[in-house]
């Protein structure tokens, strides 16, 4: 249908209309104004929203809703949009109404429709869109349907509905497939094209139901057997669903067209069966578009296994579910309720029920009535979301141009006008698709299980394969091994057989050779055997002899070894003996020395005895002098040349140093003999100096201190006494602690001879003028007074000699004036003993004491003590009875010269 033709025709119609005089009385010139009938509802209702359905719908698109429509329960207002479409005159009308003008006049730019009441009067209505008879299907789609389709794609419900008298082009507008000319494609086809172009087949889905509502029964056009589908309304959301309806998933346009064709065929068949026309039934196409919100779609690349995609795969996808309902209503013309068209009255009522209920509902909604009778019909129940609900609804009312149907046209226009007042609240149908998530997870799980099973299987197969391969290899190896063993065995067997064969050949050859030579050889061999036997027996006897020889040699060797050992021990013994001999020799030398000294001593003693026998007789003190020294000296003098010579000889032979060293010998006897020899030597004045120089004096003094042997003490003291005759030696003795040593020796002595020697030594020291004080200081006088306790006359004689010596020295010192004060003898308490022994029977004692008394009396300081101790009597006796004249005279002179003595004599009445 060329639009150009349409244009011309309309123009023709208008012109003809204007120029035609009909039943109308009004002037054709009368200008028509939109305000000509202000009381009309169209004018009252028209208001600001009518700024173009298209742009209005676009403004309320999801983009402007902020994307959060699911949370916005209130939704956004969205009025039902209404477009009017005028069908061009058809052939019949062109003929029949040729003389009449169209009953409607459109002003598309003003979106107005003028309905001619009569020749002079028109009513003007404003619509959201006014589509002329020239409007292309494309334009109609874009104006009426596209915004709704876009809304559905964005998650809103949408309704596109055609209302109008039968034959005005509802089906043409909605349901043309455009097979003959794609330009004729209707809204359904174009809507699906747009939907399919937008959705992603992997994540989105498009499901279609196609139904027919006739006489309140809902039939499935995709499954004609299903002719009583029930409507289920969810009380909470108010959503309507048809669980019994077939849902076909649409993936491409072609399948959709086929589905529409199938539906149409079924519709036709059903109508034939029911003896009706399609114009009496309502056709409903329902398109469920489910889209996953971008960015919330499931992760398809889950194989990557990264955590982000894993997390995303566990998030339920956010889906938007838009439902597009395209409703091709039954013809809106009033049907004959008389049932003249073959229907009963009741049937006629029922046929019209849904449509009239829709009208009532729209009226109620338009008037904001409290009650909307939605539940009065199935159609209103099905369309509850489309009017007064949440859907974006676009209504196209179709009208024909024929004035013959002016009434129906007017009624259609009024329907449209009322529908325009219906306000919906658009709501985004967005939700989390838990089912899908669960399904997806199930799928994923299945996949994983499958994968696992697959891998398990593969693993098992691999294991089997490896096992089989291993088995093969093992058996192959075993085979190879067996083969190798067999080969080896055969080889060896062969070698063995060959060797045997060779040996046999050799043996055969040998046998042959031997056969010839054997006889000769036998003879020869017998001879050789005899020879060898002989040699063998010889050899045997030789070996036997050799064995014996070896045995002998061995025993000899053992003997030799033994004798060597004994020789060694013998050598050791001899060595020891030699050493012992050396020791013995040394000992013997010592003994010789000792014997020599003993000999000397014995000869000394013998000499002494002989002298005694030859000389003074018994009781007489030997020698002319009192001191033992002089005795010894005289003994030596008189002992004859023999003795002297023996000592001198000894002295020469042994040497002084050697003799002195023997003083320290370990052997006590050696020491005794040595000290005796030294004593003998010391008796000789010529030796004294040598002995002292060689350290003999020191050794002798040491012996006094160290030895416990009294003989040694005695002989050593005698030697010291002899050495003490020399003034120089006296000083040495004193300086080497002689007094102390001599005192100690005296205190331990038991033999009077020892005491005699000690006393003699001290007596000699007492005769030294220089040593007076020191000697007394070291206890010399006290020691002498201790010694006298022994009472032996020889000892007492020596003590008396010492006292006399001391008194003589004191007297000399006093005379010289170097000594003042009382005598030290008196100081040390010697006076009583002097007085007591002054008249001793032993002449040596008496003589020494008389001399001592005379010396003491020389000095006046001693007089008083002497008088008080009874010495005066002794002095008187000495002066009268002393056999020595010089002493008698001295005593006398002393008594006569001392005033104290004179006074004492007087007092004692001694007449002198
Ligand atoms: P309805 O479905 O409203 O009963 P149809 O769509 O069947 O009407 O249309 C009736 C007839 O009018 C059909 O033959 C159709 O081709 C034709 N027709 C309807 N509208 C138009 C139009 N706009 N242009 C051309 N032909 C039309
Ligand atoms: Mg139709």
Q: How would residue 801 be classed by pLDDT, with cut points 50, 70 and 90?
A: very high
Which ligand is nearest to the Cα of residue 405, counting in written order?
1
Distance from residue 177's CA to the centre of ligand 1 (Å):
13
Which DSSP letter does residue 402 get? -
Residue 147, number of CB atoms within 10 A of its CB: 25
Q: Hey, what are 563's tokens?
A: 């004798």
Residue 298: predicted pLDDT: 56
Q: Does 452 score more than 50 pLDDT?
A: yes
Distance from residue 330's CA to the centre of ligand 2 (Å):
7
Beta-carbon contacts of 254 under 8 Å, excluding residues fewer than 6 positions away, are none
Query: Which of 172, 177, 212, 355 to mutate for ligand 1's pocket (most ligand atoms within 8 Å of CB)?
Result: 172
Indicate which residue's Cα is closest to atom 20 of ligand 1: 169
169 lines ligand 1 (CB under 6 A): yes
Q: Residue 166, annotated ligand binder?
A: yes
Distance from residue 87's CA to the centre of ligand 1 (Å):
7
Q: How would residue 604 be classed by pLDDT, with cut points 50, 70 and 90?
A: low
Between 304 and 63, residue with greater pLDDT: 304
Which ligand is nearest to the Cα of residue 3, counting in written order?
1
Q: Residue 164, annotated ligand binder?
A: yes
88 lines ligand 1 (CB under 6 A): yes
Mean pLDDT within 715-725: 92
Distance from residue 6's CA to the centre of ligand 2 (Å):
21
Mean pLDDT within 46-68: 32
427 lines ligand 1 (CB under 6 A): no
Mean pLDDT within 667-691: 85
Mean pLDDT within 453-480: 91
Q: How would residue 808 be classed by pLDDT, with cut points 50, 70 and 90?
A: very high
Residue 411: predicted pLDDT: 94
Q: How would residue 645 be classed by pLDDT, with cut points 50, 70 and 90?
A: low
Of the candidates 449, 387, 404, the residue with the CA atom closest to the CA atom of residue 163: 387
Q: How would residue 342 be classed by pLDDT, with cut points 50, 70 and 90?
A: low
Q: Does 884 score more than 80 pLDDT?
A: yes
In whole angstroms, what is the distance from residue 283 CA to residue 222 CA? 12
Query: Which of 88, 165, 167, 415 to mutate for ligand 1's pocket (most ligand atoms within 8 Å of CB)?
Result: 167
Mean pLDDT within 411-426: 96
Which 3 state secondary structure label does DSSP give 86? strand
Q: What is the mean pLDDT of the chain?
A: 82
Mean pLDDT within 873-879: 90
**Which residue is it, tokens 């209920």?**
357
Which ligand is nearest to the Cα of residue 169, counting in written order?
1
Distance from residue 396's CA to the centre of ligand 2 (Å):
13
Between 909 and 570, residue with greater pLDDT: 570
CA distances, 453 to each of 438, 448, 449, 460, 573 (Å)? 21, 8, 6, 10, 108
pLDDT digits (tens, 9 = 90+) for 475-520: 999 999 999 999 999 999 999 999 999 999 999 988 888 777 777 8
Q: Residue 165, annotated ligand binder?
A: yes
Mean pLDDT within 322-347: 78
**Which residue is it, tokens 């019994």?**
244
Mean pLDDT within 257-275: 86
pLDDT digits (tens, 9 = 90+) for 605-642: 666 566 566 544 333 333 334 444 444 444 434 444 45
Alpha carbon 266 to chain centroid, angstroms: 85
Distance from residue 328's CA to the centre of ligand 2 (Å):
7
Q: How would residue 151 be classed by pLDDT, with cut points 50, 70 and 90?
A: very high
Mean pLDDT within 507-536: 83
Residue 95: predicted pLDDT: 86
354 lines ligand 1 (CB under 6 A): no
164 lines ligand 1 (CB under 6 A): yes
Residue 653: predicted pLDDT: 61
Handedness of CA 548, 553, 559, 562 (dihedral sign): negative
Q: Does 581 score more than 50 pLDDT?
A: yes
Cross-strand bridge partners of residue 104: 115
Between 153 and 841, residue with greater pLDDT: 153
Distance from residue 266's CA to the centre of ligand 2 (Å):
15
Handedness of CA 760, 761, 764, 769 (dihedral sign): negative
Q: Does 387 score more than 90 pLDDT?
A: yes
Cβ atoms of residues 677 and 636 within 8 Å: no
Q: How would residue 340 be classed by pLDDT, with cut points 50, 70 and 90?
A: low
Of the candidates 301, 403, 326, the residue with the CA atom closest to the CA atom of residue 97: 403
In whole angstroms, what is the distance from residue 363 CA to residue 572 CA? 162
The pTM for the full model equals 0.48
pLDDT digits (tens, 9 = 90+) for 300-321: 544 455 556 666 667 788 899 9
In whole angstroms, what is the distance from residue 438 CA to residue 458 CA? 29
In whole angstroms, what is the distance from residue 352 CA to residue 335 CA? 8
Q: Does 383 score more than 80 pLDDT?
A: yes
In whole angstroms, what is the distance from residue 388 CA to residue 548 CA? 151
Which ligand is nearest to the Cα of residue 176, counting in written order?
1
400 lines ligand 1 (CB under 6 A): no
166 lines ligand 1 (CB under 6 A): yes
186 lines ligand 1 (CB under 6 A): no
Mean pLDDT within 28-41: 33
Q: Does 51 score more than 50 pLDDT?
A: no
Between 639 and 694, residue with greater pLDDT: 694
Quote the percentage of the chain above a pLDDT of 90. 46
Handedness of CA 743, 745, 751, 756 (dihedral sign): negative
Indicate which residue's Cα is closest to atom 6 of ligand 1: 169
Q: Residue 168, annotated ligand binder?
A: yes
Q: What share of the chain is helix, strand, coil (3-state, %, to 5)?
A: 60, 10, 25
Mean pLDDT within 577-596: 80
Mean pLDDT within 253-271: 91
Quote the percentage of the chain above a pLDDT of 70. 81
Query: Which of 169, 283, 409 to mutate for ligand 1's pocket (most ligand atoms within 8 Å of CB)?
Result: 169
In whole angstroms, what is the distance from residue 575 CA to residue 567 CA? 12
Distance from residue 332's CA to the centre of ligand 1 (Å):
15
> For the chain, how many helices (H) and strands (E)?
34, 17
Q: Residue 171, annotated ligand binder?
A: yes
Residue 66: predicted pLDDT: 28
170 lines ligand 1 (CB under 6 A): yes
Residue 514: predicted pLDDT: 73
Q: Does 591 score more than 80 pLDDT?
A: no
178 lines ligand 1 (CB under 6 A): no
Q: How would residue 277 be classed by pLDDT, with cut points 50, 70 and 90?
A: confident
Judging by DSSP bridges, how do beta strands 430-432 and 318-328 pair with one another? antiparallel
Mean pLDDT within 862-871: 89
Residue 758: predicted pLDDT: 93
């Amino acid at each position: 249908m060329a639009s150009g033709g349409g244009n011309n025709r309309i123009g023709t119609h208008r012109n003809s209309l204007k120029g035609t005089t009909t039943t109308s009385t009004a002037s054709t010139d009368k200008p028509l104004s939109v305000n000509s009938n202000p009381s009309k509802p169209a004018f009252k209702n028209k208001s600001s929203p009518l700024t173009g359905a298209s742009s209005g719908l676009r403004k309320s698109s999801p983009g402007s809703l902020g994307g959060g429509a699911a949370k916005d329960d209130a939704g956004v207002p969205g009025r039902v949009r209404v477009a009017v479409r005028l069908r061009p005159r058809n052939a019949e009308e062109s003929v029949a109404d040729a003389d009449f003008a169209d009953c409607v006049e459109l002003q598309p730019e003003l979106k107005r429709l003028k309905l001619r009441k009569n020749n002079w009067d028109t009513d003007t209505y404003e619509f959201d869109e006014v589509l002329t008879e020239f409007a292309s299907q494309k334009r109609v789609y874009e104006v009426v349907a596209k915004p709704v389709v876009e809304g559905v794609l964005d998650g809103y419900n949408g309704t596109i509905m055609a209302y109008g008298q039968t034959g005005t082009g509802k089906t043409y507008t909605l349901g043309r497939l455009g097979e003959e000319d794609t330009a004729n494609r209707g809204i359904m086809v174009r809507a699906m094209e747009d939907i399919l172009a937008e959705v992603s087949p992997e994540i989105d889905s498009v499901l279609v139901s196609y139904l027919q509502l006739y006489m309140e029964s809902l039939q499935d056009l995709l499954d004609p057997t299903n002719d009583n589908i029930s409507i289920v309304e969810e009380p909470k959301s108010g959503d309507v669903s048809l669980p019994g309806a077939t849902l076909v998933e649409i993936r491409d346009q072609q399948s959709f067209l086929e589905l529409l064709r199938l539906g149409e065929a079924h519709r036709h068949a059903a109508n034939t069966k029911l003896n009706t026309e399609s114009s009496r039934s309502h056709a409903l196409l329902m398109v469920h578009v489910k889209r996953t919100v971008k960015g919330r779609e499931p992760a398809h690349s889950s194989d990557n296994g990264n955590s982000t995609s894993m997390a995303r795969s566990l998030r339920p996808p956010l889906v938007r579910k838009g439902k597009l309902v395209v409703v091709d209503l039954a013809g809106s013309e009033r049907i004959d309720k008389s049932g003249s068209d073959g229907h009963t009255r009741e049937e006629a009522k029922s046929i019209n029920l849904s449509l009239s209920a829709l009208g009532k509902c729209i009226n109620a909604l338009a008037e904001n009535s409290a009650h909307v009778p939605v539940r009065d019909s199935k159609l209103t129940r099905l369309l509850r979301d489309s009017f007064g609900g949440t859907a974006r609804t676009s209504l196209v009312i179709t009208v024909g141009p024929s004035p013959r149907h002016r009434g129906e046209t007017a009624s259609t226009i009024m329907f449209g006008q009322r529908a325009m007042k219906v306000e919906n609240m658009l709501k985004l149908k967005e939700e989390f698709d838990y089912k899908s998530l669960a399904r997806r997870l199930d799928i994923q799980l299945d996949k994983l299980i499958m994968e696992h099973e697959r891998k398990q299987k593969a693993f098992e197969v691999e294991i089997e394969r490896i096992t089989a391969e291993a088995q093969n290899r093992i058996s192959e190896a075993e085979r190879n091994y067996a083969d190798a063993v067999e080969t080896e065995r055969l080889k060896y067997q062969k070698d063995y057989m060959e060797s045997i064969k060779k040996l046999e050949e050799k043996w055969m050859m040998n046998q042959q050779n031997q056969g010839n030579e054997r006889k000769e050889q036998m003879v020869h061999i017998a001879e050789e055997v005899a020879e060898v036997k002989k040699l063998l027996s010889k050899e045997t006897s030789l070996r036997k002899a050799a064995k014996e020889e070896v045995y002998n040699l061995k025993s000899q060797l053992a003997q030799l070894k033994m004798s060597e050992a004994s020789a060694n021990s013998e050598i050791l013994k001899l060595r020891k003996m030699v050493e012992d001999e050396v020791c013995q020799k040394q000992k013997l030398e010592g003994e010789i020395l000792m014997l020599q000294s003993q000999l000397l001593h014995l000869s000394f003693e013998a000499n002494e005895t002989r002298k005694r026998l030859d000389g003074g007789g018994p009781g007489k003190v030997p020698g002319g002098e009192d001191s033992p020294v002089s005795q010894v000296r005289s003994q030596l003098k008189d002992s004859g040349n023999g003795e002297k010579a023996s000592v001198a000889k000894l002295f020469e032979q042994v040497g002084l140093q050697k003799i002195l060293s023997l003083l320290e010998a370990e052997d006590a006897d050696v020491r005794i003999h040595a000290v005796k020899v030294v004593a003998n030597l010391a008796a000789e004045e010529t030796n004294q100096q040598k002995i002292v120089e060689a350290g003999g004096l020191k050794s002798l003094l040491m012996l006094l201190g160290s030895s416990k042997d009294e003989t040694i003490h005695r002989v050593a003291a005698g030697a010291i006494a002899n050495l003490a005759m020399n003034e120089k030696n006296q000083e040495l003795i004193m300086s080497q602690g002689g007094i102390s040593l001599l005192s100690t020796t005296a205190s331990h002595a038991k033999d009077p001879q020892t005491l005699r020697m000690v006393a003699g030594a001290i007596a000699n020291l007492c005769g030294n003028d220089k040593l007076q004080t020191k000697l007394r200081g070291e206890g010399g006088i006290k020691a002498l007074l201790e010694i006298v306790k022994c009472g032996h006359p020889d000892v007492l004689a020596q003590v008396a000699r010492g006292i006399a010596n001391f008194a003589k020295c004191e007297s000399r010192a006093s005379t010289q004036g170097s000594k003042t004060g009382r005598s030290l003898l008196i100081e040390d308490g010697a006076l009583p003993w002097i007085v007591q022994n002054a008249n001793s029977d032993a002449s040596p004692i008496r003589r020494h004491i008389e001399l001592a008394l005379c010396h003491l009396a020389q000095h006046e300081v001693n007089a008083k003590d002497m008088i008080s101790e009874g010495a005066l009597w002794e002095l008187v006796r000495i002066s009268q009875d002393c056999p020595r004249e010089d002493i008698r005279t001295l005593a006398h002179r002393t008594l006569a010269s001392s005033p104290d003595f004179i006074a004492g004599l007087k007092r004692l009445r001694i007449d002198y």
